[in-house]
Homo-oligomer: A and B are copies of this chain.
Amino acid sequence: MNNNQIHDHEGTPAVIGVFDSGVGGLTVVKELRRLMPHQPIIYFGDTARTPYGTKGPETITRYAEEDSRFLLQQGAKILVIACHSAASVAAEHIKKTFDAPLFEVITPSIEQALAFTKNKKIGLIGTRATIGSRVYEAKIGAIDSEIQVIDQACPLLVPLVEEGWFKRRETRMIVKKYLRPLKERHVDTLILGCTHYPLLKPVIQEKIGKRVTLIDPSHEVARAVHTYLLKTGGLAGGPTSVANRYFLSDLHQTNQRIVQTFLGERIQIEQGGP
């Protein structure tokens, strides 16, 4: 069977393989399931090596390749990079290395941000790896060189979310501090460049101001996959016999607690990975 075929002769719907450095990518799964409730999904969260965002490009690229190969071996026909750090530094490499259609959290967000901005000032927050990669600037600049991207690395937001400190005073102070330079530059659109950040949406919206449009990459990438499956005919029209599978490379109690935070429900998780 050709790798480019996204459903086989019996019409089994295309299995979507999603990977992330940890459990944050479940925000993408949540959106995929909301749009395509019957589409089978395989998720891999690399909790044994999480986070990727503090590591170097070579290490992240190596991990992303291993993660992709694992998902394809498990039967995925479409790859989704839910990790912004991996999408920033490794997407081109993954595209060249494997035949499967590839989606990632960056490109659809950029398209949305470009559609929304009026004053051409787009804010971007993310991990150090995502911001340091300058990939958003490069991609946006190639489309419209007049756009200004004002970015800010926010390394404390991931641990704050993982602590469950969504609305605490310390969180609000730290969010405010991180967003101040973006607010001062009057961005009218803000890309939440990390899977964890949608959980801080209320605080982020409050601190950046009500008039700023927040772009949630989980939502945007799920829409892109949905559009693709509609066009190519791989969309599952109803329930299938293929069960969703969730793999974590480190299966630990804390992770299971966080899984519920991200996905909003209890699921069966398996230990596994490359």
Spell out A's residues near B (CB within 8 Å).
47-50, 54-56, 58-59, 128, 155-156, 158-160, 162-163, 169-170, 173-174, 177, 249-255
Q: List 11 A-B contacts (CB under 8 A).
A: A48-B55, A54-B162, A55-B252, A56-B253, A56-B255, A128-B254, A156-B156, A156-B159, A156-B163, A159-B159, A170-B174
Cβ A169 vs Cβ B173 within 8 A: yes
Cβ contacts under 8 Å, A255 to chain B: 56
Cβ A250 vs Cβ B177 within 8 A: no
Cβ A48 vs Cβ B59 within 8 A: yes
Partner of A252, one of B56, B159, B169: B56
Cβ contacts under 8 Å, A58 to chain B: 250
Q: Which B residue sits closest to A56, measured CB to CB?
A: B252
Tell me the complex Cα distance, A190–B184, Å.
42
A55-B156 CB under 8 A given contacts A49-B48, A173-B169: no
Q: In the assembled complex, how far is the CB of residue A82 from the closest CB belonging to chain B, in whole angstroms? A: 19
Cβ contacts under 8 Å, A253 to chain B: 56
Tell me the complex Cα distance, A155–B169, Å.
17
Tell me the complex Cα distance, A55–B48, Å.
6
Q: Which B residue sits closest to A158, measured CB to CB?
A: B159
Cβ contacts under 8 Å, A47 to chain B: 55
Q: Which B residue sits closest to A49, measured CB to CB?
A: B49
